[in-house]
């Protein structure tokens, strides 16, 4: 995600696009991102690439985007995508992951960040109804494996199953050789008493092309 944001926006707007307030809808988001970058530049000067820039350059005050955006957390990356002024910029990043709509992409980012925070705080993930739900989408012409029309309409987007399907869909772009589903199958084998239907899993989920090993 970080790589696509940096790559696409740098090609369009130059190496220091993150310093251009005109690219953002919300000035507060721009200010928050700038503040975060400057705080990280101050606190992480033991990091080699930061130390190198800070000792060699003083103008511009922040490193180019491929360094500065490296300092942002996932939440800030999501905020950048949701607050870009030009819709085509967001759409270009979305399409890099096989998603046909900037709105779908931003909603997925929001939910990815939400679930990531649940995990980071060791909170309950099993058998919960998500407070934030991703937008559903019909399979695009990306050639990637996804849910059928019927499955999209019947699966609960507020449950973990749909979220994990999202992860598997994105991994087809990010890391096609990922062992994510192998690890998940292994986790269920370690805890056979866990009933996955409470997480929104359909009866034949193991046979679905997304999940088949």
For residue range 127-139, list pLDDT tens digits in order: 999 999 999 998 7
User: Distance (Å, rounded) from C-alpha 65 to C-alpha 70?
Assistant: 8
To 5 degrees, how large is the angle CA 4–CA 60–CA 44?
Answer: 70
User: Distance (Å, rounded) from C-alpha 164 to C-alpha 159?
Assistant: 9
What tokens does 124 get? 């309950």
User: Distance (Å, rounded) from C-alpha 33 to C-alpha 98?
Assistant: 27
Question: Percent of the chain at pLDDT above 90?
Answer: 85
Question: Which letter does DSSP use for residue 186 in this model?
Answer: H
Question: Which letter does DSSP use for residue 136 in this model?
Answer: P
Question: Which letter does DSSP use for residue 134 in this model?
Answer: P
60 and 151 assigned to the same domain: no
Q: Quick check: is 212 in a domain?
A: no
User: Distance (Å, rounded) from C-alpha 1 to C-alpha 76?
Assistant: 12
17 and 84 assigned to the same domain: yes
For residue range 45-67, list pLDDT tens digits in order: 778 888 888 888 888 889 999 99
In the block, which residue shows the tokens 């939400």? 114
Model pTM score = 0.91
Closest of 166, 160, 209, 167 to residue 188, by C-alpha:
160
Question: Which letter does DSSP use for residue 201 in this model?
Answer: -
57 and 144 assigned to the same domain: no
50 and 117 assigned to the same domain: no
- Centre a 10 Å sphere on the Cβ of residue 80 and count the other Cβ atoms it contains: 25
126 and 74 assigned to the same domain: no
Total number of domains in the chain? 2
Q: Coil, strand, or helix at residue 120? A: helix
For residue range 130-188, list pLDDT tens digits in order: 999 999 998 767 789 999 999 999 999 999 999 999 999 999 999 999 999 999 999 99
19 and 45 assigned to the same domain: yes
Q: Indicate if the pLDDT at residue 88 is higher than 80.
A: yes
User: Distance (Å, rounded) from C-alpha 209 to C-alpha 207?
Assistant: 6
22 and 85 assigned to the same domain: yes
109 and 198 assigned to the same domain: yes
55 and 118 assigned to the same domain: no
Which positions ≥6 away from 168 have C-beta within 8 Å? Answer: 145, 180, 181, 210, 211
115 and 31 assigned to the same domain: no
Cis before 60? omega within 30: yes
Cis before 66? omega within 30: no
- The residue range of the domain holding 128 is 102-207
Q: Quick check: is 22 in a domain?
A: yes
The whole-number pLDDT of residue 118 equals 96
């Amino acid at each position: 995600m970080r790589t696509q944001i940096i790559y696409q926006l740098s090609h369009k707007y130059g190496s220091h696009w993150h310093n251009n307030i005109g690219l953002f809808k919300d000035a507060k988001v721009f200010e928050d991102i700038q503040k975060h970058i400057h705080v990280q530049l101050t606190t992480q000067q033991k990091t080699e690439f930061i130390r190198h820039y800070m000792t060699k350059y003083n103008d511009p005050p922040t490193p180019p985007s491929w360094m500065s955006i490296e300092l942002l957390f996932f939440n800030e990356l999501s905020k950048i995508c949701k607050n870009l002024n030009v819709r085509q910029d967001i759409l270009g990043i979305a399409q890099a992951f096989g998603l046909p709509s900037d709105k779908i992409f931003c909603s997925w980012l929001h939910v990815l960040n939400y679930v990531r925070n649940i995990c980071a705080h060791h909170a309950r993930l099993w058998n919960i109804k998500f407070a934030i739900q991703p937008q559903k989408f019909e399979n695009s012409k990306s050639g990637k494996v996804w849910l059928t029309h019927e499955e999209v309409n019947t699966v609960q987007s507020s449950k973990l199953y749909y979220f994990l399907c999202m992860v598997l869909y994105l991994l087809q772009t990010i890391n096609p050789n990922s062992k994510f589903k192998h690890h998940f199958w292994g986790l269920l084998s370690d805890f056979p008493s866990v009933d996955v239907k409470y997480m929104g899993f359909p009866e034949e989920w193991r046979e679905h092309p997304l999940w088949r090993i």
